[in-house]
Structure 1
Amino acid sequence: MLRKSGAQRRQPALWRRCRSLRQIKQVHALMVLRGFLSDPFALRELIFASAVAVRGGIAHARLVFDRIPHPDRFMYNTLIRGAAHSDAPRDALSVYARMARHRGDCGGGGVRPDKLTFPFVLRACAAMGAGGTGAQVHAHVVKAGCEPDAFVRNALIGMHASCGDLEVAAALFDSGARRDAVAWSAMISGCARRGDICAARELFDESPVKDLVSWNVMITAYAKRGEIAMARELFDQVPERDVVSWNSMISGYVRCGSLRHAMELFEEMQGMGEKPDTVTVLSLLSACADSGALDVGRRLHSYLSERFSRTGLTTILGNALIDMYAKCGSMKSAHEVFCSMRDKDVSTWNSIIGGNALHGHVNESIDMFEKMHKGNVKPDEITFVAVLVACSHGGMVDRGHKYFNLMQQQYRIEPNIKHYGCMVDILSRAGLLKEAFEFIDTMKVEPNSVIWRTLLGACRIHGEIELAEHANRELLKARSDASGDYVLLSNIYASVGEWLGSEKMRNLMDDTGVNKEAGRAVIDGSSKDLMQSCRQF
């Protein structure tokens, strides 16, 4: 288990003022103009700020790093560290491999890994579940003479305990590490990551000195398993909490569907002087989006507006707000957040385009896509699903074909089953059923039951019996136990007076043992007025 104390490294005042990737890029541009790109000190600070100090800057750090002819050890270690903590830990291994390839080339600027390199490489192995690669790195550690170092040893324990050889982890732990609280945390964390929460709890109870990391590991493990009572029991017992403790508990309540308890804890967190971070708010906004709790979402938005009044919302928080408002049906608020954001990425555009499409705001969705297409943000496969959905809702067949071709020809994106499904839906809604069947014949992937069911529903609307029979045959090949598919074709026969065909489908259900599911109505039990009305009957 690695601590992040190194993140407190003292930076020069200029770099401390950089709190976003946009500001880092501005300083980078200034360095280019002033000729500082040949200054190793300035380059080190640029890589550190991009890879470690600011969230989401690792790609920019790698871009800078790859253009340095002879990076020094600090640059390598910083980039490996940043990648190990990012969403792409594999990049840490690729940088380490480059370092290992050139370590013997001392005359050409080669550098050797040291005790600050290995812990983050091992962290990346653990994050990827790459126990085999971790074992190879362990061999490099021994060869470099770094195994006795406590920082490296604890990283080895954590890696082996979570995805490597548990016996090796135990041997390292027993060989003088039992006096180290960090080593206990590494063993506890490793067992928890393996899913062996009983072993993790035994170690936790046995540990002579429980540090905050150990408490947080156990709280998180119980919360992720849905054992929210056990998580809360430990949370209430922990001598001192940090933001990770609060986040683990809040996320646990969100995962269990208890938004009320999560918000109560969020407010208690602020009342006790603990500052919520991005993870805290993202978890709550996600819960609001899933449950449609617009009022709670607005309260969170108000909190964020006050907190980021000077710097403006970060991209990731702005994206979460847009997604929340879109899923809660408040597209006006989603547009306001979108317009207020200074930095927008592809997820920002996808959220606003998809939100408009979802709510039938076809023209707004198309307009947003056109602005994105003409701007400097490259659409991805999710973007094209969203805009094709808008075309489907708007009955825009020609435009749908245009975007489908644009995706492949200009952006080199191969269509997946969702893109094909959208095109079939566009053609089906327009009554172009023969064209839809012909389009399916050109697909590079096997059509799934959703596509055939879309066609079957369109055949019912347009009274196409022969095509409906063909679609149903293909649908039953893909899935033969869905009663709705039989009932749908039976209703198609009945709608055009083909009573024998309708009865045949009903009999086929009986012969194949498919039972029709009973219909159900969903009532919002929280509505007091509705419940009072029901009692009157």
Structure 2
Amino acid sequence: MIRKRPNDRSTNRQQRSTLFQKCTNLRALKQVHASMVVHGFNSNHSALGELIFASAMVISGTIGYAHKLFDHITEPNTFMWNTMIRGSAQSLKPLNAVVLYTQMEKRGSRPDDFTFPFILKACTKLCWVKMGMGIHGKVMRFGFQSNASVRNTLIDFHAKCGDLRVATALFDGSAKRDVVAWSALTAGYARRGKLDAARRLFDEMPVKDLVSWNVMITGYTKQGEMESARKLFDEVPRRDVVTWNAMIAGYVRCGFIEQALQMFEEMTSLGEKPDEVTMLSLLSACADIGELEIGERIHSSLLEMGSGEISIIHGNALIDMYSKCGSIERAIEVFQGMREKDVSSWNSVIGGLAFHGHAEESVNLFEEMRRLKVRPDGITFVGVLVACSHAGKVEDGRGYFSLMRNEYKIKPNIKHYGCMVDLLGRAGLLDEAFDCIGNMEMQPNAIVWRTLLGACKVHGNVELGRRANERLLDIRGDESGDFVLLSNIYASRGEWHGAEEVRKLMDDIGVKKEPGFSIVEADDSALKHFCFYSKSKSNRGC
């Protein structure tokens, strides 16, 4: 008897049984999984398909569990492969989608016209041009090039990271009747900074959907052309949260913080509910301008939106915001309350503690990080070295610098060397600091030499100060502060002739000392322009 091959496309539409409806969270998923193990895990392909779909596509944050389930399926069908590739492509680790597709080929499972759009999206996110080109060849071999979904994904891939000429060639013909193809090609030109070409396509579109408007607005904001973005924003027939987020993020990116908050006020006044992306942009704005009160309100809102839980990405943004606003206690509180943490979470709080002078706590937290087997990265060691520098822990700093290179195989960058020069300079080990600069694997920048020059001023080392100043002159000879600092070193040692010579050199090469000034915050306009979207909470209005 010939067994009929299941129709995966039909399965995709019909996989909605009682079993699937039970899988609403990870706990329920595990219960269903346990039940299936008892009755024979691989005995029911239909139920397996539903379980994979629920874990990979429906329940948030369970793609890792889906991979563990999938590894125990002896004969996955095309629907299961497609579901896993799709879920992986949409996750934070799209590389897993490529790995799955490779395994699919090796195990002899035939891809269909659903497989290729998912794997192409992963290649686009990874910007893997060679792999994407190979997938294009497979599309041609299997005869799916005329499929609208496959063709549009190919256009999107080539437009964003492949060959624009290929994308344009694919766009000719029947694709010109498809608004998705128009949007894909427009997005590709916009992403590559070719806004004039993108705008021409946008203007020629026979029908413009909201995606195409958002693509063009986002393209302008990412290039910093906020006036053009605002003009299109005012013209768009209908807006969604993506439209508003593009403008808010654009203003924040360009440093127009007040405009970002005004845009948020306008958004909420028109009844558009912000999402987590909105809040991330606003937290960045608060961190930039030190607006603690607004940041606290956003924190409260995120707790409400997440039913009391904060995601990793928002937890990290909150730690950064509280640290930059001077509330390191709240930053630590957020960190300790996070159910899940990544290396960025640790980096944010270690760096925050270090820069606020809590060196001992910063180093202790790093040691706890190591005990928990969380692998540090280069940013982690910047925070640790800053902590050692501020606390005068020279031996510890040397040890951590060596640990970074030898145990974790992290190649030091200019920031690490700058921290070491600062550490040694503060301790008065100026010769060792000078040697450290000489042993750098890259050209030292002005900040490194200026750090050493400042240390020479503190410790009154005229000779090394003069040598550091000479290096600064080679890099940039018009910085008046460097000359003044060297002049002050001479003066502090009573070497008035040397100080006069420096002042004369400034006059000879035309360097003028800039007058000092202070900054006074004029008003609380940023706070005035912040209105919270939860109108039911009267105490949270403006």
Give the shorter-chain TM-score range: 0.7 to 0.9
Q: 1:166 to 1:316 in 2, by over 3 A?
A: closer
Any unmatched runs of 5+ in structure 2?
1-11, 525-542
In 2: Cα distance, 1:181 partner to 1:162 partner: 17
Q: 1:398 to 1:525 in 2, by over 3 A?
A: closer
Q: Which of 515, 519, 522 is residue 523 of structure 1 equivalent to?
A: 519
In 2: Cα distance, 1:463 partner to 1:524 partner: 34
The share of aligned pairs that are identical, in percent, is: 55
The superposition leaves residues 50-105 of structure 1 with CA deviations (integer Å, 9 ceiling, x where unpaired) of 655566666676677678777654454344434444555555445444544x2xxx
- Cα distance, 1:463 vs. partner? 1.4
Q: 1:417 to 1:190 in 2, by over 3 A?
A: closer
Instruction: Tell me which residue corresponds to 2:393.
Output: 396
Q: Which of 354, 357, 381 is residue 354 of structure 2 equivalent to?
A: 357
Q: 1:147 to 1:80 in 2, by over 3 A?
A: same
Q: 1:445 to 1:98 in 2, by over 3 A?
A: farther
On the 8 A contact 2:23/2:32 being kept in 1, the answer is no
Amino acid at match of 1:519: P
Q: Which of 86, 95, 100 is residue 81 of structure 1 equivalent to?
A: 86
Q: 1:421 to 1:44 in 2, by over 3 A?
A: farther
Instruction: Tell me which residue corresponds to 1:379.
Output: 376
Instruction: Tell me which residue corresponds to 1:533.
Output: none
- Cα distance, 1:377 vs. partner? 2.3
- Cα distance, 1:14 vs. partner? 4.8
In 2: Cα distance, 1:364 partner to 1:255 partner: 32
- For structure 1, which segment, 487-496 or 139-148, has the greater mean C-alpha deviation from structure 2 after superposition? 487-496
The superposition leaves residues 461-516 of structure 1 with CA deviations (integer Å, 9 ceiling, x where unpaired) of 111222223333444444445343333223212221223323333344455x3523
For the residue of structure 1 that corresponds to 2:497, the secondary structure is: helix
Instruction: Tell me which residue corresponds to 1:232.
Output: 230
- For structure 1, which segment, 194-203 or 323-332, has the greater mean C-alpha deviation from structure 2 after superposition? 194-203
1:442-457 pair list within 5 angstroms: 442-457=439-454
1:51-90 pair list within 5 angstroms: 52-53=57-58, 72-86=77-91, 89=94
In 1: Cα distance, 2:300 partner to 2:13 partner: 30
Q: 1:285 to 1:42 in 2, by over 3 A?
A: farther
For the residue of structure 2 that corresponds to 1:121, the secondary structure is: helix
1:425 has 2:433 as partner: no
On the 8 A contact 2:343/2:376 being kept in 1, the answer is yes
Q: 1:238 to 1:448 in 2, by over 3 A?
A: closer
In 2: Cα distance, 1:276 partner to 1:205 partner: 29
Q: 1:365 to 1:167 in 2, by over 3 A?
A: closer
Instruction: Tell me which residue corresponds to 1:300.
Output: 298
On the 8 A contact 2:29/2:51 being kept in 1, the answer is no
On the 8 A contact 2:224/2:250 being kept in 1, the answer is yes
1:266-345 pair list within 5 angstroms: 266-270=264-268, 274-310=272-308, 312-345=309-342
- Cα distance, 1:326 vs. partner? 0.5
Any unmatched runs of 5+ in structure 1?
1-5, 103-108, 529-537
On the 8 A contact 1:36/1:42 being kept in 2, the answer is no
Instruction: Tell me which residue corresponds to 2:532.
Output: none
- Cα distance, 1:443 vs. partner? 4.5
Q: Which of 21, 24, 40 is residue 16 of structure 1 equivalent to?
A: 24
TM-score (normalised: structure 2): 0.82
- Cα distance, 1:323 vs. partner? 0.7
In 1: Cα distance, 2:162 partner to 2:153 partner: 12
The superposition leaves residues 337-372 of structure 1 with CA deviations (integer Å, 9 ceiling, x where unpaired) of 222222222211111111111111223323322322
- For structure 1, which segment, 497-506 or 457-466, has the greater mean C-alpha deviation from structure 2 after superposition? 497-506
Amino acid at match of 2:417: Y
Q: 1:504 to 1:55 in 2, by over 3 A?
A: farther
On the 8 A contact 1:353/1:366 being kept in 2, the answer is yes
In 2: Cα distance, 1:296 partner to 1:195 partner: 34
Q: 1:208 to 1:423 in 2, by over 3 A?
A: same
- For structure 1, which segment, 261-270 or 283-292, has the greater mean C-alpha deviation from structure 2 after superposition? 261-270
1:202-213 pair list within 5 angstroms: 202-213=200-211
For the residue of structure 1 that corresponds to 2:370, the secondary structure is: helix
Q: Which of 474, 493, 499 is residue 496 of structure 2 equivalent to?
A: 499
- Cα distance, 1:386 vs. partner? 0.6
On the 8 A contact 1:84/1:123 being kept in 2, the answer is yes
- Cα distance, 1:445 vs. partner? 4.5
In 2: Cα distance, 1:118 partner to 1:199 partner: 28
- Cα distance, 1:150 vs. partner? 0.7
1:485 has 2:482 as partner: yes
Amino acid at match of 1:262: A
For the residue of structure 2 that corresponds to 1:178, the secondary structure is: helix
Q: 1:472 to 1:234 in 2, by over 3 A?
A: closer
Amino acid at match of 2:425: S
Instruction: Tell me which residue corresponds to 1:142.
Output: 140
- Cα distance, 1:143 vs. partner? 0.9
The superposition leaves residues 270-327 of structure 1 with CA deviations (integer Å, 9 ceiling, x where unpaired) of 55554432211111101111111212111111211222234x1112111111110100
* CA RMSD, 1 decimal: 3.6
1:471 has 2:429 as partner: no
Q: Which of 189, 198, 204 is residue 200 of structure 1 equivalent to?
A: 198
For the residue of structure 1 that corresponds to 2:517, the secondary structure is: coil
Q: Which structure is higher in RCO with an 8 Å CA cutoff and minimum separation 6?
A: 2
Q: 1:141 to 1:409 in 2, by over 3 A?
A: same
On the 8 A contact 1:389/1:422 being kept in 2, the answer is yes
For the residue of structure 2 that corresponds to 1:191, the secondary structure is: helix
1:134-213 pair list within 5 angstroms: 134-213=132-211
Q: 1:37 to 1:258 in 2, by over 3 A?
A: farther
- Cα distance, 1:431 vs. partner? 1.4
On the 8 A contact 1:493/1:501 being kept in 2, the answer is yes
Q: 1:132 to 1:348 in 2, by over 3 A?
A: closer
- Cα distance, 1:44 vs. partner? 5.8
- Cα distance, 1:111 vs. partner? 1.9
On the 8 A contact 2:42/2:73 being kept in 1, the answer is no
In 2: Cα distance, 1:397 partner to 1:473 partner: 27
- Number of aligned residue pairs: 510
For the residue of structure 2 that corresponds to 1:16, the secondary structure is: coil
